[in-house]
Structure 1
């Protein structure tokens, strides 16, 4: 089983594993990431192997500063404004790759673009110490619920990795928002830990949605973030044996008879709901209920990202093909 070390004690151990081409689960402000040296093909391959992730699905490369980012990708003025406004933080930018950037092709899944993010905290310090970017998708089995605690990582991947760095519960609780500049416009590829409205306010324009050309970034496959239980959205009633994932103060009919119950935010706070989403889904899944009924959650602010994750969790699952 993986060793679990507190973030304050884990830097040198994590660094040694990464330098040796191994992988490490690390905390970020969004969710826990499964990190490997993005320039090391063996390390990157181990990420895909540990997760059971399809190799056509690209990874995000994480950087420690703009100097590192500029060596990897070509920034247009609009993307540079976003980096200045939101980095370090839960924003990923999809950018053209700079030739000869040293990133292993597995990271980008053969695309001529690369997804870049600059994390806060332990991850940023580890990257700076390593001196190379880290590829770090969420630290969970492919297609399953993302981990927001070290214990959740260990329960899922503990037999496949050597180290989990424990930084406590992740404060944001959702993966990063992913955007891509298209000329003078911006397209939202994945809603996440920064609300679309915040990005629109920073650049003074609306974000385009939909019509993305295939899988351009992580988290774009239809089925994703899935528990073992089925997921039923916009529930007005709770059926026999169902667990209930609630939101706000108004309850679905029959909620007192739910097999298990969690409220993302009794006060209707979407930021609190986002931080609780994956942990509460895991708890309800462990209850043994065959279905998780989910009350309606508004789409404004972080509600867009929450609903995105829930809709992918509820999507039909093709068990013959791996998911992200």
Structure 2
């Protein structure tokens, strides 16, 4: 039987609380590169003399640097952190970056970033030299437009179109608060996932036992391991007031779901555009 690999780049790194925001200097538009696997990359300034392409990952709490780039730049470990995925927790080295920035933004950030070999990431984004996480992104309002390969970032009001949703945060990551009248549940809006993953009980409450049009076996792959899973194929579904296009879905048993309070990961690739404002507690999505 064919086993389909699914990607979960989502990582939690400690410390998970973003550093204080720096003064905002307007809003800019940056070009994105979208890989064949649909992963968005943004140009960043790692040090004063080196720019690189990093995965723009809304589901990652912290920024990560590829181990090879750290060696090339002569950056030495200055501390340690924990990296947590659905599969495991591991200790990783960290390095200090004194002036990290998204190219185009006139604001720099001092960050302690994880160093990792990023083997999984590079399968879907071969040119990626790191991951931009919520220790940077949550300081801003941002709109990711994969259809036109651009990122708008700074401080700006939500567009009037699209489906508006309240959000909270979990370890800095945006959690969409979905309410179908029977109760509210939270899904992390994740540019680093290509399959909808939910804790099984929460999925049953959210969408019931909607019959899929097909089933297959899959393998959820994370930075720290993999898991063979049953995969449901749906022609679409409605979650609260959001109509989702065709998608693959995995229901994980409660004992395999290690994240809280969120009960699932919702791929941002299901939408042509996503807007997130942590400061306003609001997100907007445009289903494909």
TM interval, shorter chain, is 0.3 to 0.5
Which structure would you say has the larger Rg? Answer: 1
Taking structure 1 as the reference length, the TM-score comes to 0.34
TM-score (norm 2): 0.36
Higher RCO structure, 1 or 2 (CA under 8 Å, sep 6+): 2
Higher helix share: 1
